[in-house]
Structure 1
Amino acid sequence: MKKLNALAQKGQINENASIRDSHSTIINADINKVWDILVDMEDWPNWMSDVKKVTLDGEQAEGSTFKWVQGRSHGTSQIQAFKKPHTLSWTSKARMVKRIYVWSLESDEGQTIATVSASFQGTMVVLAQTHQKVYDELLNWLESLKNKSEE
């Protein structure tokens, strides 16, 4: 995980992972509002349909961990980058699959360009994930964040 943690700390995914994807959207909201919604992890279940529960261990900061349930997957993740209001990334390992998620926010004339990228690797990645599932998951995250931020 050291290599993956180092990548995530730089706001990067593993470009050599078995499954990787990235998507962006424009959100009609100020970057600080979008950031505040994104980093309120324990509130994710209220606006992100796939997330059932999140428990943050301590405060939101680099090195902190959180436990979460997404779909049928349970895991513990560690925040690797927490750079307000631009970058949030974390790594996790669950069911022999190692993951990196990277969120990047960019302000553009009162709007926010949100990008989410992810990489998945490991011996069970073929059984646990497919490219289509990751593609759909990332689009769902973006659409849900957009909808919540534009309320």
Structure 2
Amino acid sequence: MKPINSSAPVKAKKSIVIHADIERVWNILTHINKWSAWNADISISKMNGQIQVGQTFDWKTGGTTLHSNIHTCNPNTQFGWTGKVFGVYAIHNWILSETANGTKVTVEESMEGILAKLFRKSFQQTLENGMANWLESLKKECEKKTG
């Protein structure tokens, strides 16, 4: 997995336990074309091929259109991508692990570049709020009763 930049001006890490098996969490998390169906922060998400290292996807969140490149895709354990927009370079990682009562999901991200430095406080707050919302939305979607 490509590590986040620990010296970047903006970085965050959050975790949640989801009461669902790891395969279900993985399948929902990596089905990029369906992100907008369960994550209100994402208006568009489109995978440009198969979920695999080196593949790209395009998505829109918070009014910003992003083009991201998958750097890690280890089924049921690790998923991550990089992206650059307006001179801000981000590294984003998801780590999944089984627990006694479901799946622990950890998300981490770093952002670097001139805008990340200039607007560090604002970017930091936006990143932390976005991560919390994404984790809560993922939990809600994964814990839905099926069948």
Per the TM superposition, whether the score is higher than 0.5 is yes
Q: 1:100 aligns with which of 91, 101, 126?
A: 91
Q: Report Cα offsets for 1:81-130 as digits up to 9, x if no partner.
A: 00000000000001111001100000112500000001011112234852
What value does the CA root-mean-square deviation take over the aligned residues? Answer: 1.3
Segments of 5+ residues of structure 1 without an aligned counterpart are 1-9
Matched, 1:70 2:72: no
Equivalent pair of 1:23/1:115 in contact (CA under 8 Å): yes
Which residue matches 2:23? 32
DSSP-derived class of the 2:68 partner: strand
CA distance in 1, matches of 2:136, 2:2: 21
Which residue matches 2:33? 42
Which residue matches 1:53? 44
Q: Report Cα offsets for 1:23-55 as digits up to 9, x if no partner.
A: 001100000000000000010000111111111
Q: 2:136 aligns with which of 127, 139, 143?
A: 143
CA distance in 2, matches of 1:61, 1:35: 13
Equivalent pair of 1:31/1:110 in contact (CA under 8 Å): no
DSSP-derived class of the 1:130 partner: helix
One-letter code aligned to 1:131: Q
Identity of matched residues, %: 31
Which residue matches 1:89? 80
The TM-score, its normalising length taken from structure 2, stands at 0.92
The TM-score, its normalising length taken from structure 1, stands at 0.90
Q: How many residues align?
A: 142
Segments of 5+ residues of structure 2 without an aligned counterpart are none
CA distance in 2, matches of 1:117, 1:74: 20
